């Protein structure tokens, strides 16, 4: 009996300490477990994959950073990055501009059938991206699609929206159609929480609608705009569904390395180059992070 007691008495402190730390783990545990499994583990596995090479002849070998070196010199990859970069600087401002205009129009209170417009503009977001791309693909058809019908009716020859020179713009159109409503909703909800007292003050000061927009509304939703921009940047860099679906209609205009994500897919599924695909995905992830971070910093500085 005595030895047991003395042993227990000898370590009261560690026991209490252990209990305290376990309590913390109890709270954080479920989150940590899921976070590790679904977030950290896949990233770690991708990094692991990117250090190897699996060849049809010779099997799997450790190659260190060779894959990264290859990615940095990969013309196809950087052309893809350039393409989504161009897409980003053209499509995102257009889409957010439309979203902002619509949000301000809805918020102005001068629109009849406000809730109908709100739902109508948001509706495309509820259409699955695959369905949207297919639908637009049919509209773009120059033989049996809408473009073809217009040509037939008016006896014109419209440029082919799926030709190599125009297909990026056509994809931009689809993405704008899909996501303008979604961004509109983000901006609109930010507009709704502006205190009415600010508007009353503006009215007393004799400010017009334009002045209200530039002095009150826009500064108030700057944070929401920054968020919408970051989402859109990530979306642009991850462009995949639309070009992937349209590829079956325009196989010669959209290459297998058209966007970095398509390239990763092709590498991994057509070429069995999972290791290099993982490398490309990691590099692209880093680029996205850097760009999104820079935009976020800028957005915050302006807000401050």
Partner 1 sequence: MPITRRQALLTGAALAVSSTAGACGSSDAGSSGAEPLSDADLGAALKAGGSLTVWSWNEPLRKTVKDFMAKYPEVKVDLVNAGTNTDEYTALQNAIKAGKGVPDIAMIEYYALPQFTLAKSLTDLRELGAGKLKSAFSPGPWNAVGAGADGVYGLPLDSGPMALFYNKEVFDKHKIKVPETWEEYFAAAAKLHAADPKAYITNDTGDAGFTTSMIWQAGGRPYSVDGTKVGVDFADAGSEKFAGAWQRLIDDKLLAPVTSWSDEWYRGLGDGSIATLVIGAWMPSSLQLGVKSAAGKWRVAPMPQWEKGAGKSAENGGSSLVITEASAKKTLAYAFLRYATVGAGVQSRIDEGTFPATTEHLGSRAFQDKKVAYFGGQRINRVLAESAEQVASGWSYLPYQVYANSVFNDTVGKAYVGGRSLQEGLKSWQDASVEYGKEQGFTVQ
Name the residue nearer to partner 1 (CB basis): 6 or 270: 270
Shortest distance in whole angstroms from residue 253 CB to partner 1: 6
Name the residue nearer to partner 1 (CB basis): 88 or 253: 253
Which of residues 18, 36, 60, 272 is near partner 1 by CB under 8 A? 272
Size of the site for partner 1 (CB under 8 A): 23
Tokens of 235: 């979306």
62 lies in the binding site for partner 1 (CB under 8 A):
no
Tokens of 113: 């059938």
Which of residues 173, 241, 244, 257 is near partner 1 by CB under 8 A? 257
Q: Alpha-carbon distance 217 to 108, whole Å?
A: 11
Name the residue nearer to partner 1 (CB basis): 165 or 206: 165
3-state secondary structure of 110: coil
115 lies in the binding site for partner 1 (CB under 8 A):
no
**Near partner 1 by CB under 8 A, which window of 28-36, 51-59, 117-125, 229-237?**
51-59
Q: In whole angstroms, how far apart are CA 280 and each of 18, 68, 69, 142, 250? A: 44, 8, 11, 35, 25
Q: What is the DSSP code string of 48-113?
A: HHHTEEEETTTEEEE-TTHHHHHHHT-HHHHHHHHHHHHHHHHHHHHHHHHHHHHHHHHHTT--TT
3-state secondary structure of 54: strand
- Are 280 and 77 contacting, i.e. CB atoms less than 8 angstroms apart? yes
82 lies in the binding site for partner 1 (CB under 8 A):
no
Helix runs in 217-273, H state only: 218-220, 222-237, 241-246, 260-269
Which of residues 15, 43, 271, 286 is near partner 1 by CB under 8 A? 271
Q: Alpha-carbon distance 84 to 117, whole Å?
A: 31
270 lies in the binding site for partner 1 (CB under 8 A):
yes
48 lies in the binding site for partner 1 (CB under 8 A):
no
3-state secondary structure of 52: strand
244 lies in the binding site for partner 1 (CB under 8 A):
no
Subset of 136-155 contacting partner 1 (CB under 8 A): 141, 143-144
58 lies in the binding site for partner 1 (CB under 8 A):
yes
159 lies in the binding site for partner 1 (CB under 8 A):
no
Which of residues 56, 89, 196, 210 is near partner 1 by CB under 8 A? 56
Q: Alpha-carbon distance 135 to 145, whole Å?
A: 10
Which of residues 9, 10, 13, 57 is near partner 1 by CB under 8 A? 57
298 lies in the binding site for partner 1 (CB under 8 A):
no
- Are 53 and 68 contacting, i.e. CB atoms less than 8 angstroms apart? no
60 lies in the binding site for partner 1 (CB under 8 A):
no
Q: In whole angstroms, how far apart are CA 56 and each of 18, 60, 117, 265? A: 52, 9, 56, 18
Footprint of partner 1 (CB under 8 A): 55-58, 141, 143-144, 163-164, 248-249, 251-253, 255-257, 266, 269-273
């Amino acid at each position: 009996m005595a030895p047991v007691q003395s042993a227990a008495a000898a370590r009261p402190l560690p026991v209490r300490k252990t209990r305290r730390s376990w309590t913390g783990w109890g709270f954080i545990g479920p989150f940590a477990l899921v976070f590790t499994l679904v977030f950290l583990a896949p990233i770690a596995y991708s990094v692991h994959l990117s250090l190897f090479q699996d060849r049809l002849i010779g099997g799997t070998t450790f190659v260190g950073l060779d894959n990264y070196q290859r990615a940095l010199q990969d013309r196809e990859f950087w052309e893809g990055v350039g393409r989504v970069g161009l897409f980003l600087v053209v499509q995102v401002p257009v889409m957010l501009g439309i979203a902002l205009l619509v949000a301000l129009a809805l918020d102005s209170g001068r629109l009849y059938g406000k809730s109908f417009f709100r739902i109508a503009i948001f509706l495309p977001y509820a259409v699955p991206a695959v369905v949207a791309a297919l639908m637009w693909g049919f509209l773009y058809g120059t033989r049996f699609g809408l473009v073809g019908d217009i040509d037939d009716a008016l006896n014109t020859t419209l440029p082919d929206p799926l030709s190599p020179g125009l297909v990026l713009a056509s994809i931009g159109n689809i993405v704008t159609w899909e996501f303008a409503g979604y961004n509109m909703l983000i901006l609109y909800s930010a507009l709704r929480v502006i205190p009415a007292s600010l508007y009353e003050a503006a009215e007393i000061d004799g400010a017009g609608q334009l002045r209200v927009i530039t002095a009150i509304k826009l500064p108030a939703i700057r944070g929401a705009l920054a968020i919408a921009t970051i989402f859109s940047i990530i979306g642009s860099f991850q462009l995949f569904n639309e070009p992937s679906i349209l590829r079956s209609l325009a196989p010669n205009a959209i290459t297998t390395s058209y966007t970095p994500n398509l390239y990763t897919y092709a590498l991994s599924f057509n070429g069995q180059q999972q290791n290099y695909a993982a490398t490309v995905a990691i590099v692209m992830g880093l680029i996205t992070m850097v760009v999104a971070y820079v935009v976020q910093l800028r957005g915050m500085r302006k807000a401050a």
